[in-house]
Structure 1
Amino acid sequence: MQARTLRIGTRGSPLALAQAYETRGRLMAAHRLPEEAFEIRTYKTTGDVIQDRPLAEVGGKGLFTKELEDALLKREIDLAVHSMKDMQTQLPEGLGIGAVLPREDVRDAFISLKYPSLDALPQGAVVGTSSLRRQAQVKRVRPDLEVVGFRGNVQTRLRKLSDGVADATLLACAGLKRLGMADRITSEIETDQMLPAVAQGAIAIEIQLDDEETARLLAPLNHEETALCVTAERAFLTRLEGSCRTPIAGLATLHGDTLHFRGMTFSIDGAECFEIKLEAPAGDAETLGLSAADALLQRGAHAHLGRAS
């Protein structure tokens, strides 16, 4: 069934490799292929190289995907595995999403060696995070806390915590669970307290649009519920022209045949916030996300986005 070796492109971080191995495992199971039918190629992205300053200062989304997308376009690889929240909403010409894997836990994880929860942090405690979305929401619920920049992969951030750089940090539950490190989660932060990033917890597999063979192999892996939810969320982000420089959060959930969506934009300091809740039939996922964004823009969210009214 499979004559050629399927080349899987990924970043080289432990989490990225775990996601690539999950993709390979699902393909092996779906098509009864041996491990030898695959080759995993690792790439260092711009986001991996730049560690001395916040990504928001460098150029927003795409910093963890560009080199993989270049490899796809050069046909060095057949598919690229991404954390979907790292992907640009507008993909390079000729590339598309071949499959979205079942979503992991969408929540953010609170991690501390001293305190059980965000609410339990003492006044003036230091929280380390590289995410403007998390920063804004921390400051919104706890303006007394100090937030400092925290770059690096999961292991690096946990090491900084052990070194006393901060009293607590926030990471995605999904990444920790995929790494087998769920025991490092001090407490999960429910989505009504901290809304996740668009597509958080979702793995996307990107391919060349004209590669029908790879598309056929990936088709059984696509998880329809996850795909619908992230379609609404990414449409929301697209309309807002969101990037790493803008605190935006969004989450869609499917209940029966109805998609429920909640989206938020924030000022950097968390003092101002616009929020929207909408629902629509599951088949209208993209329209739902666009409508939610339009509603926020009409309310004045453009003030957070650097856009004219």
Structure 2
Amino acid sequence: MKHLLKIGTRGSALALRQTQIIEGLLHPCNPDLEIKKIIITTSGDRDKTTPLNQIGGKGIFIKELEQALLTGEIDCAIHCFKDITAAMHPSLELCAFLPPESSADVLVSQNNRRLIDLPAGSRIATSSMRRKILAERIRPDINTVEVRGNVDTRLKKIDNNEFEGIILSEAGLIRLGMQARVAERFNQDEFPPAPGQGVLAIQARKVDTLNKDILTAINDREQELKSRMEMRFLEIVGFDCNVPLGLFTTTNEESITMKGFISDISGSRFHESFITGAKSHSIMLAEELGRRFLSWRKNLS
């Protein structure tokens, strides 16, 4: 007997490709599963020009999807984990995490030049305060400019000579088959990504045990460990898009390491720290590193 699963997704080419990836994982586990894609337009999709920190931060990409979940319009929602806020509706939960093809940031530039090789005064586009701060630490003589819109729209601005370069997530370019556009891949230790960058997370209603069982079949436990650790860190720090912050979490057989940075808006005050320990203590480690960052942030006041 067929089981219908209504998946909520944003309507961009990248969001639809990510939904396709998840469909491809679900069907082998559930041959009788019938999937219906429902496109939800979010506040972030409607307003493609206003800077994120002026229109509600990263939560603008998930609010309408969560509302559709709560009303039953959809059974699950696919999110980029980096867009999820630390505060989630108590009736909802994340039930599956998929690892990224890459968590790195990359530069797409005219003539495929690296950041260090671009002329002084080059315009580097990004919608991220984190990327702005990190790029300016490497090249204080560049001009970072605000840009919004989907990946295709941003790349066209490079082709139309509106910018000399743009910084994007490598995972998004890989999923869209555009990795050939990459001029430079930044080292995550030196250019820490956003928390959860590239990770796909599936959200469902807590009470919906049948659909949660279907979705958890494709969960990557190692990625779940990292993501829940990063979520706990964000709950401690109280992260939003008004604070430049990067976080990079790695694991080996027994241990887990979290390294990150936080900065003031100007980038003149910059703090880096890391913590490592047993995987079984991941939440305690996240809380300890979060308290360090929170203490530093409070000292800015």
TM-score between the two structures when normalised by the length of structure 2: 0.96
The structural deviation recorded for 1:114 is 2.5
Cα offsets for 1:221-278 (capped at 9, x unmatched): 1101111111222222221111111111111111111001101101223222111111
C-alpha separation between the residues in 2 aligned to 1:270 and 1:142?
13
- Of the three residues 288, 297, 301, the one matched with 1:301 is 297
Q: Which amino acid aligns with 1:31?
A: N
RMSD: 1.4
The structural deviation recorded for 1:25 is 1.0
C-alpha separation between the residues in 2 aligned to 1:60 and 1:151?
13
Match of 1:22 in 2: 21
SS of corresponding position for 1:63: helix
Contact kept? 1:140, 1:271, Cα under 8 Å: no
Contact kept? 1:46, 1:63, Cα under 8 Å: yes
C-alpha separation between the residues in 1 aligned to 2:64 and 2:28?
28
Contact kept? 1:51, 1:152, Cα under 8 Å: yes
C-alpha separation between the residues in 2 aligned to 1:175 and 1:245?
23
C-alpha separation between the residues in 1 aligned to 2:205 and 2:257?
31
Contact kept? 1:135, 1:268, Cα under 8 Å: no
Contact kept? 2:112, 2:182, Cα under 8 Å: no
SS of corresponding position for 2:74: coil
**Stretch moving more, 200-209 or 24-33:** 24-33
Match of 2:86 in 1: 89
Cα offsets for 1:287-309 (capped at 9, x unmatched): 222211212233x23355xxx5x
The structural deviation recorded for 1:52 is 2.4
- Of the three residues 43, 56, 59, the one matched with 1:46 is 43
C-alpha separation between the residues in 2 aligned to 1:209 and 1:266?
36
Match of 1:212 in 2: 209
Q: Which amino acid aligns with 1:193?
A: E
Contact kept? 1:27, 1:33, Cα under 8 Å: no
The structural deviation recorded for 1:129 is 0.5
Q: Which amino acid aligns with 1:105?
A: S
- Of the three residues 100, 105, 116, the one matched with 1:103 is 100
The structural deviation recorded for 1:3 is 3.4
Q: Which amino acid aligns with 1:121?
A: L
The structural deviation recorded for 1:42 is 0.3
| Alignment map for 1:267-306 (pairs within 5 Å) | 267-298=264-295, 300-303=296-299
Match of 1:187 in 2: 184
C-alpha separation between the residues in 2 aligned to 1:261 and 1:55?
26
Match of 1:10 in 2: 9
Contact kept? 1:138, 1:270, Cα under 8 Å: no
- Of the three residues 229, 236, 249, the one matched with 1:232 is 229
Q: 5+ unaligned residues in a row in structure 1: which ranges?
A: none
C-alpha separation between the residues in 2 aligned to 1:110 and 1:192?
16
SS of corresponding position for 2:127: coil
> How many residues in Structure 1 have an aligned counterpart in Structure 2?
301
Q: Which amino acid aligns with 1:157?
A: R
Cα offsets for 1:146-169 (capped at 9, x unmatched): 010011010010011111111000
Contact kept? 2:204, 2:212, Cα under 8 Å: yes
C-alpha separation between the residues in 2 aligned to 1:252 and 1:178?
22
C-alpha separation between the residues in 2 aligned to 1:205 and 1:62?
15
Going from structure 1 to structure 2, the CA distance change for 1:262 and 1:256 (only over 3 Å counts) comes to same
Report whether the alignment pairs 1:119 with 2:134: no
Contact kept? 1:89, 1:234, Cα under 8 Å: yes
Q: Which amino acid aligns with 1:56?
A: N
Contact kept? 1:229, 1:252, Cα under 8 Å: yes
The structural deviation recorded for 1:115 is 4.4
Give identity over the alignment, percent. Answer: 33
Cα offsets for 1:152-201 (capped at 9, x unmatched): 01001001111111100000001111111111111211112211000001
The structural deviation recorded for 1:23 is 1.0
| Alignment map for 1:33-182 (pairs within 5 Å) | 33=32, 37-182=34-179
Q: Which amino acid aligns with 1:61?
A: K
SS of corresponding position for 2:115: coil
Going from structure 1 to structure 2, the CA distance change for 1:134 and 1:303 (only over 3 Å counts) comes to farther
C-alpha separation between the residues in 2 aligned to 1:297 and 1:7?
39
The structural deviation recorded for 1:97 is 0.4
